[in-house]
Chains A and B, each alone.
Chain A
Amino acid sequence: MKIIVIGCGSTGKSLIENLVNEGHDVALIDKDPVFLDEAANAFDVLGVCGIGTDCEVLDEAGVSHADLVISVTGSDELNMLACYIAKTLGAKNTVARIRDREYNDKSLGFVQQQLQLSMAINPELSAAYSISKILKFPSAVNVDTFTSHKFEIVEIILKEGSPLIGTMILDLRKHSTANFLICAVMRNDSVIIPDGRFVFEDGDRIAVIASPAELNKISRVLGLLHRRTKDVMILGAGRIAYYLSRMLLASGSKVTVVDKNQVRCSSFSENVQGATVICGDGANQDMLLEEGLEQTDAFVSLTGHDENNILISYFASSQGVPKVVSKVNRPEFLPIASKLGIDTVISPIQIITDEIVRYVRALQNSLGSNVEKLYKIMDGMAEALEFNVSTDFKWLNTPLKDIRFKSNILIAGIIRNQKVIVPNGEDVITSGDKVIVIAAGHRLLDLSDIIA
């Protein structure tokens, strides 16, 4: 597809990288020639220097043939206007990043409709939503929900003392009658899809797929303590904190927000009724302890500095806070953060990149690809994809154990007549099913791509 990205900040770059890897023709518009040059050198894209609202600039980028225009500049208004103009000039779909609370709370639907936006993305809202999901299942590093809440993928890191270490996957099944599947393991920075003879080691990061009901049953087998977080401390009173606090308060948790800026603190307490707002420097460890860091169930670091977030989170987990979540914007820092032992790292950029890639694949869907939904798991190193099975799939009604799959591919779930099946070797795929496939190192466009 032909895609135009307006704005070449860190979100823009992450988007370009993903879209180019997906095989799309990408043109890039930015007003800063230095950024533009850097991106055009790093990725195979066409750079056009100028403002995204300029018709001539859009024309040079080929707007009239574009399948999609994504505007992610720093200004909401510019994004909206650029998308509107692009739409008028013939772009088929438009996506704008709109992050200001004022637009999002009340008038987003109206704005979206008036500007004929295909999608409005708000990284902060998405990030807050992910964090709240993780806090509901605190032993997990990451939680993803599939197919309207029929499946959940939970990522856990095996730490010393976990009953799983040294166990073979085959034996695990004997311990529990519950239906679940270990669908991916990350060890030494590479992701593998394990078979039955795989033995767990200390430090493995595993992804488990199961239906939400089953997940509660198997938590004990997996050595997970299923306890809800009731008391959360949030550092940084920004936009994510705003959305997150409202979600947490709505579900009955106690929220303490710490920020060093007096103005931000007072506007936060004005907007979020019920949260305890503390004005103080988060880097001050005494202050954090005084405000009850040791008693909280979870600590979420959301300041504007990745470095601060990583270091303060490190301090919090050293103080024994059971669940520590850290926001890291620069994707380069993700592996470093996990090296430091910070389990759960949230990257708003990655979240919205995934969201857009998912949307793009869905668009492609109407153009020939059959991917219904796509989620990146394991820090983006593996993908979970949902396919609709059509009648022309060659291996219909064949037991899974008889199908020769490519390596690092797994059928992790089948949904038939609203029923959830976590498959074993005897199960079959029939037409009309929805199938969830886990893939590492492949780019799948069609269900038949999984056959070796």
Chain B
Amino acid sequence: MNRRMIFYTVGRIAIVEAALMLLPAVVSLIYLEKSGFSFLITAAIALVLGFLLTRFKPKDTSIYAKESFSIVAYAWLLMSLLGALPFVISGFVPSYIDAFFETVSGFTTTGASILTDVEALDKGLLFWRSFTHWIGGMGVLVLVTAVVSNIGDRSINILKAEMPGPTVGKLLPRSRDTAKVLYIIYIALTFIQIILLRVGGMPLYDSIVHTFGTAGTGGFGIKNNSIASYSPYLQWVITVFMLLFSINFNLYYLLLIRKFKTVFKSDELRFFLVMVLCCIAIVTVNIAPLYPSASEALRHSAFQVSSIVSTTGYATTDFDLWPGLSKSILMLLMVVGACAGSTGGGLKAARVVILLKSVGRELQKLLHPRSVKTVSTEGKKLDDTTLNGVNSYFSIYIICIVVIYILLSFEPFDMETNFSATLACFNNIGPGLGKVGPTTNYAAYSGFSKILLSFAMLLGRLEIFPLLLGLNPFIWKSKRNKAFKINKTNK
């Protein structure tokens, strides 16, 4: 275990966060809000902490899988702990646990809130809340990889630990260039959305904040009724962008380098789009009687389905009042989630595709015990390691849901509320059903449950293993001094 490297990298993250905090401070300055100072104070704390941690530059910069899990786990914890401070210092969220919940919910792009009245908050704080979505969406370590020339030997392990999906495809030979390309696509899409929202007449501040919420597939809004008060055009724009941000970013790169065939042949994309379209159609028919016109039903249906499947969590209507069939479909979509390599959460469409295909193979094996069949997606044969990985991920995913749900059941709420809260937090969606539906929030939960749900959100965002293994004290063992150096070439 290379402890120094972990401290060093986590320290760098603290410095990055300090820099990122300057943006909401500027927003506070523009609106002349006192809460701006809370950002400066937090940035100073983060900076001091960062400098202390990065004082000793490690000689040995190798990051193996173990180290990368720890780096990712501790970086995310530290980011959330620091990110919660402005809410407390400014006095808007008196309880630190509440502020922590809110920040974790932001960074993990969940969008679950404990705020009963969002509109009462300062503009700077609301900006920070949504900005955490944007940072957490693509991942802060990916950002550091893109900016810093070389985090360490084997830094691809970090990308693997932070980026969601069963396999991490590199676009370019260097991790740094790959991370850069991803961020460039991310930033470009963000700007396009801001412009389109502006064109529809949304104020600049609202456009930026909502775009952050959409880009990170987070779902923090600035209105108590989420997106409901905006025009149908704006709702459609957000619907389309929620879906765009939940598609594998590698595909955008392939589009850019004109490999259209590969994109259209993508099994995951096809599955995802077909699933979304079917769900929208079913829900539209199901909820049509509730709304005056078919077009409005279609709009609400498309918005809610996109919002849930992309794990964003915006709402244009209270879907808790919808019929059972529609609610069940939404619950199902919560589990499936977005595509791998996107900013969305959930189990990931790629895994569902692989799971379905391997189930198909098992069924065929039962009928023809001697049959040989390879499972392939995206035109490539899947080896047993990936298949096993997906299967065991699915098992541990279910186990996590069960454990969190049982622990949450101590709360005096009905089953629908607790179960949907578990799913909504663990899959990074935000609003659930019942008492945690789109028009209500998580304020009623006890402190213990808020911490539990915060961990659920982190588990979901980091895809379980980094958090589970990275925080495990048994891997925290220091390195011995070596008898002699491994012969390495000059750098």
Across the interface, do B491 and A42 meet the contact criterion of CB distance under 8 Å?
no
Interface residue from A33, A334, A339, A441 paired with B383 (Cβ < 8 Å) = A33
Interface residue from A21, A43, A379, A382 paired with B491 (Cβ < 8 Å) = A21
Interface residue from A44, A49, A380, A381 paired with B155 (Cβ < 8 Å) = A44
Across the interface, do B490 and A21 meet the contact criterion of CB distance under 8 Å?
yes
List the B side residues contacting A47 at CB < 8 Å: 170
Across the interface, do B484 and A189 meet the contact criterion of CB distance under 8 Å?
yes
Interface residue from B155, B157, B173 paired with A25 (Cβ < 8 Å) = B173
CA distance A439 to B491 in the complex (A): 11
Across the interface, do A380 and B487 meet the contact criterion of CB distance under 8 Å?
yes
List the B side residues contacting A443 at CB < 8 Å: 490-491
List the A side residues contacting B175 at CB < 8 Å: 44
List the A side residues contacting B486 at CB < 8 Å: 332, 335
> What's the minimum C-beta distance from B195 to chain A, rounded to whole angstroms?
33
Tell me if B485 is interfacial: C-beta within 8 Å of chain A: yes
Query: What 0/1 readout, one digit per residue, does chain A (85-109) give for beta carbons within 8 Å of chain B?
Result: 0000000000000000000000000
> What's the minimum C-beta distance from B260 to chain A, rounded to whole angstroms?
15
The secondary structure that dominates the A interface is mixed
Tell me if A26 is interfacial: C-beta within 8 Å of chain B: yes
Across the interface, do A442 and B173 meet the contact criterion of CB distance under 8 Å?
no
Tell me if A178 is interfacial: C-beta within 8 Å of chain B: no
CA distance A44 to B491 in the complex (A): 14
Tell me if B174 is interfacial: C-beta within 8 Å of chain A: yes
Across the interface, do B170 and A335 meet the contact criterion of CB distance under 8 Å?
no
List the B side residues contacting A439 at CB < 8 Å: 490
The total of chain B residues at the interface (CB under 8 A) is 22
Tell me if A45 is interfacial: C-beta within 8 Å of chain B: yes
Interface residue from B173, B383, B490 paired with A44 (Cβ < 8 Å) = B173
Interface residue from B157, B172, B485 paired with A189 (Cβ < 8 Å) = B485
Interface size class of A (residues with CB under 8 A): 35 or more
Tell me if B429 is interfacial: C-beta within 8 Å of chain A: no
Q: A18-B489, A442-B490, A443-B491 are in contact. Are A46 and B170 (CB under 8 A)?
A: yes
List the B side residues contacting A18 at CB < 8 Å: 489
Max chain A C-beta neighbours (<10 A), residue from B484, B487, B490: B490
Query: What 0/1 readout, one digit per residue, does chain A (401-445) give for beta carbons within 8 Å of chain B?
Result: 000000000000000000000000000000000000001111100
CA distance A329 to B491 in the complex (A): 22
Number of residue pairs A-B, CB distance < 8 angstroms: 64
Tell me if A383 is interfacial: C-beta within 8 Å of chain B: yes
List the A side residues contacting B327 at CB < 8 Å: none
Interface residue from A17, A27, A41, A382 paired with B156 (Cβ < 8 Å) = A41
Query: What 0/1 readout, one digit per residue, does chain B (460-491) give for beta carbons within 8 Å of chain A?
Result: 00000000000000000000000011110111
Across the interface, do B172 and A25 meet the contact criterion of CB distance under 8 Å?
yes
Query: What 0/1 readout, one digit per residue, does chain B (142-174) give for beta carbons within 8 Å of chain A?
Result: 000000001001111100000000000010111
Query: What 0/1 readout, one digit per residue, does chain B (436-474) give for beta carbons within 8 Å of chain A?
Result: 000000000000000000000000000000000000000
Interface residue from B153, B157, B487 paired with A381 (Cβ < 8 Å) = B487
> What's the minimum C-beta distance from B153 to chain A, rounded to whole angstroms?
8
> What's the minimum C-beta distance from A33 to chain B, rounded to whole angstroms?
6
List the B side residues contacting A44 at CB < 8 Å: 150, 155-156, 173-176
Tell me if A40 is interfacial: C-beta within 8 Å of chain B: yes
List the A side residues contacting B176 at CB < 8 Å: 44
List the A side residues contacting B155 at CB < 8 Å: 44
Q: A25-B172, A42-B154 are in contact. Are A17 and B485 (CB under 8 A)?
A: no
CA distance A336 to B487 in the complex (A): 10
4 additional A-B residue pairs with CB within 8 Å, beyond A42-B154, A339-B484: A21-B489, A40-B156, A42-B153, A46-B170
**A contact set with B: CB distance below 8 Å:** 2, 17-18, 21, 25-27, 33, 40-47, 49, 189-190, 331-332, 334-336, 339, 376, 379-383, 439-443
